[in-house]
Structure 1
Amino acid sequence: MTQTHTFAGKIAAALGIASLAVLGVAGSAQAATAFSEVAVIPSGADSIGQNPTDVAVDSVHHRAYVTNFVDGSVSVVDTSGAGAEVVQVIPNGAGSIGKGAWGVAVDTAHNRAYVTNAVDNSVSVIDTTGTGAHVVAVISYAAGNGHSPRSVAIDATHNRAYVVNTDDDTVSVINTGGTGITVDSVISIDIGSAPSDVAVDQVHSRAYVTNDNDGTVSVIDTTGAGTNVIAVIPHGATSIQNSPQSVEVDGAHNRAYVANAGSDSISVIDTTGTGTAVTEVITAGIGEGPLGIAVDTTRNRAYVANFISGTVSLIDTTGAGNTVIASTSVGRGAWGVAVDIEHDRAYVANNLVSTVSVVAAQTSPVITTPAGALTGGTVSAAYSPVTIEATGTPAPTFTATGALPPGLTLSAAGVISGTPTTAGTYTFTVVASNGVDPDASQTFSIAISAAAVVPAPATPGAAGAAKPAAHLPVVSG
Structure 2
Amino acid sequence: MRLLVRLPRRCAAISMILAMLLLVGSVPATAMGVVTSTIPVGPQPLSVAVSPDGSTAYVTHLSANMVSVLDVASSTVTSTIAVGSQPRGVAFTPDGSTAYATNSGSGSVSVIDVASGTVTSTISVGITPLGVAFTPDGSTAYVTNFSSGTVSVITVASGTVISTVPVGAQPYDVAFTPDGSTAYVANYASSTVSVITVALGTVAFTIPVGANPRGVAFTPDGTTAYVTNNNAETVSAINVASRTVTSTIPVGTAPFRVTFTPDGSIAYVTNTASRTVSVITVASGTVTSTIPVGFSPTGVAFTPDGLTAYVANHSSHTLSVINVNATAPVFTAATPPDTGTIGTAYSYTFTASGNPAPRFTVFAGSLPEGLTLDTASGVLSGTPAAAGEYTFTVRAANGISPAALTPSLTIAIAAAEPSDTTDPTITIASPIDGSEVVQGAVLNASYACADESAGSGLASCTGTVASGTAIDTSVVGEKSFTVTATDTAGNMAVKMLSYRVVWQFSGFAAPVDALPTLNATKAGSVVPIRFSLDGDRGLDILAAGYPTTAQIGCDPSAPLDLIEETALSPGANTLSYDTATGQYAYNWKTNKAWKNTCRQLTFKLADGASYRANFRFS
- Please give the range of the TM-score, normalised by the shorter of the 2 chains: 0.5 to 0.7
1:241-270: CA deviation from partner (whole Å, max 9, x where unpaired): 111011011123611110001010000011
Quote the residue 2:35 is aligned against. 37
Q: Quick one: which amino acid aligns to residue 125 of structure 1?
A: V
Relative to structure 1, the CA distance from residue 154 to residue 328 in structure 2 (aligned partners, 3 Å threshold; closer, same or farther) is same
1:406-455: CA deviation from partner (whole Å, max 9, x where unpaired): xxxxxxxxxxxxxxxxxxxxxxxxxxx99665679xxxxxxxxxxxxxxx
Segments of 5+ residues of structure 1 without an aligned counterpart are 1-6, 12-27, 43-47, 92-96, 235-239, 367-390, 397-432, 441-477
Quote the residue 1:193 is aligned against. 169
Quote the residue 2:277 is aligned against. 312
CA contact (8 A) 2:214 2:227 kept: yes
In structure 1, C-alpha distance between the alignment counterparts of 2:96 and 2:328, rounded to whole Å:
39
SS of residue in 2 equivalent to 1:33: coil
Quote the residue 1:60 is aligned against. 53
Alignment of 1:267-286 (within 5 A): 267-271=236-240, 273-274=241-242, 276-283=243-250, 286=251
SS of residue in 2 equivalent to 1:104: strand
Relative to structure 1, the CA distance from residue 355 to residue 394 in structure 2 (aligned partners, 3 Å threshold; closer, same or farther) is closer
Quote the residue 1:121 is aligned against. 107
**1:307: how far off?**
0.4
SS of residue in 1 equivalent to 2:31: strand
In structure 2, C-alpha distance between the alignment counterparts of 1:329 and 1:61, rounded to whole Å:
24
SS of residue in 1 equivalent to 2:310: strand
Relative to structure 1, the CA distance from residue 328 to residue 203 in structure 2 (aligned partners, 3 Å threshold; closer, same or farther) is same
SS of residue in 2 equivalent to 1:32: coil
CA contact (8 A) 1:393 1:434 kept: no
CA contact (8 A) 1:203 1:251 kept: no
Q: Quick one: which amino acid aligns to residue 53 of structure 2?
A: V
In structure 2, C-alpha distance between the alignment counterparts of 1:312 and 1:267, rounded to whole Å:
16
Relative to structure 1, the CA distance from residue 61 to residue 31 in structure 2 (aligned partners, 3 Å threshold; closer, same or farther) is closer
Are 1:324 and 2:324 counterparts?
A: no
Alignment root-mean-square deviation, CA: 2.8
Match 1:356 to one of 303, 319, 323: 319
Match 1:109 to one of 95, 102, 105: 95
Quote the residue 1:208 is aligned against. 184
Quote the residue 2:118 is aligned against. 134
1:332-373: CA deviation from partner (whole Å, max 9, x where unpaired): 11111111133611111111222211122312489xxxxxxx
Q: Quick one: which amino acid aligns to residue 164 of structure 2?
A: V
Q: Quick one: which amino acid aligns to residue 149 of structure 2?
A: D
Quote the residue 2:302 is aligned against. 339
Match 1:72 to one of 65, 76, 91: 65
Relative to structure 1, the CA distance from residue 217 to residue 365 in structure 2 (aligned partners, 3 Å threshold; closer, same or farther) is same
Match 1:168 to one of 134, 148, 173: 148
CA contact (8 A) 1:298 1:341 kept: no
In structure 1, C-alpha distance between the alignment counterparts of 2:302 and 2:141, rounded to whole Å:
20
**1:158: how far off?**
6.3
**1:135: how far off?**
1.2
Quote the residue 2:12 is aligned against. none
**1:108: how far off?**
2.7
Relative to structure 1, the CA distance from residue 343 to residue 79 in structure 2 (aligned partners, 3 Å threshold; closer, same or farther) is farther
Quote the residue 1:218 is aligned against. 194
Are 1:88 and 2:72 counterparts?
A: no
In structure 1, C-alpha distance between the alignment counterparts of 2:211 and 2:255, rounded to whole Å:
11
CA contact (8 A) 2:143 2:151 kept: yes
Relative to structure 1, the CA distance from residue 114 to residue 53 in structure 2 (aligned partners, 3 Å threshold; closer, same or farther) is same
CA contact (8 A) 1:33 1:326 kept: no
Relative to structure 1, the CA distance from residue 129 to residue 356 in structure 2 (aligned partners, 3 Å threshold; closer, same or farther) is same
Quote the residue 1:182 is aligned against. 160
Match 1:232 to one of 201, 206, 223: 206
Q: Quick one: which amino acid aligns to residue 105 of structure 2?
A: V
In structure 1, C-alpha distance between the alignment counterparts of 2:51 and 2:96, rounded to whole Å:
12
In structure 2, C-alpha distance between the alignment counterparts of 1:60 and 1:337, rounded to whole Å:
17
Q: Quick one: which amino acid aligns to residue 213 of structure 1?
A: A
In structure 1, C-alpha distance between the alignment counterparts of 2:403 and 2:178, rounded to whole Å:
39
Relative to structure 1, the CA distance from residue 187 to residue 105 in structure 2 (aligned partners, 3 Å threshold; closer, same or farther) is same
Quote the residue 1:472 is aligned against. none
1:222-246: CA deviation from partner (whole Å, max 9, x where unpaired): 2x24x12110002xxxxx1111011
In structure 2, C-alpha distance between the alignment counterparts of 1:329 and 1:393, rounded to whole Å:
17
Match 1:248 to one of 217, 222, 230: 217
Relative to structure 1, the CA distance from residue 165 to residue 253 in structure 2 (aligned partners, 3 Å threshold; closer, same or farther) is closer
**1:203: how far off?**
3.0
Q: Which has the higher contact order (CA 8 A, sep 6+)?
A: 1
Alignment of 1:448-467 (within 5 A): none
In structure 2, C-alpha distance between the alignment counterparts of 1:348 and 1:438, rounded to whole Å:
25
1:90-116: CA deviation from partner (whole Å, max 9, x where unpaired): 12xxxxx00111100110326100000
Q: Quick one: which amino acid aligns to residue 271 of structure 2?
A: N
**1:292: how far off?**
1.1
**1:30: how far off?**
5.5
CA contact (8 A) 1:76 1:87 kept: yes
CA contact (8 A) 2:94 2:134 kept: no
Q: Quick one: which amino acid aligns to residue 137 of structure 1?
A: S
Relative to structure 1, the CA distance from residue 34 to residue 174 in structure 2 (aligned partners, 3 Å threshold; closer, same or farther) is closer
SS of residue in 1 equivalent to 2:291: strand
Relative to structure 1, the CA distance from residue 158 to residue 32 in structure 2 (aligned partners, 3 Å threshold; closer, same or farther) is closer
Percent identity, please: 35
Quote the residue 2:254 is aligned against. 289
Relative to structure 1, the CA distance from residue 85 to residue 262 in structure 2 (aligned partners, 3 Å threshold; closer, same or farther) is same
In structure 2, C-alpha distance between the alignment counterparts of 1:327 and 1:110, rounded to whole Å:
31
In structure 1, C-alpha distance between the alignment counterparts of 2:224 and 2:357, rounded to whole Å:
29
Relative to structure 1, the CA distance from residue 354 to residue 438 in structure 2 (aligned partners, 3 Å threshold; closer, same or farther) is closer
In structure 1, C-alpha distance between the alignment counterparts of 2:281 and 2:222, rounded to whole Å:
11
**1:34: how far off?**
5.2
Relative to structure 1, the CA distance from residue 329 to residue 364 in structure 2 (aligned partners, 3 Å threshold; closer, same or farther) is closer
In structure 1, C-alpha distance between the alignment counterparts of 2:261 and 2:53, rounded to whole Å:
16
SS of residue in 1 equivalent to 2:33: strand
In structure 2, C-alpha distance between the alignment counterparts of 1:323 and 1:365, rounded to whole Å:
24
Under a length normalisation based on structure 2, what TM-score does the superposition of the two structures give? Answer: 0.49
In structure 2, C-alpha distance between the alignment counterparts of 1:58 and 1:350, rounded to whole Å:
20
Q: Quick one: which amino acid aligns to residue 244 of structure 2?
A: A
SS of residue in 2 equivalent to 1:202: coil
CA contact (8 A) 2:221 2:264 kept: no
SS of residue in 2 equivalent to 1:163: strand
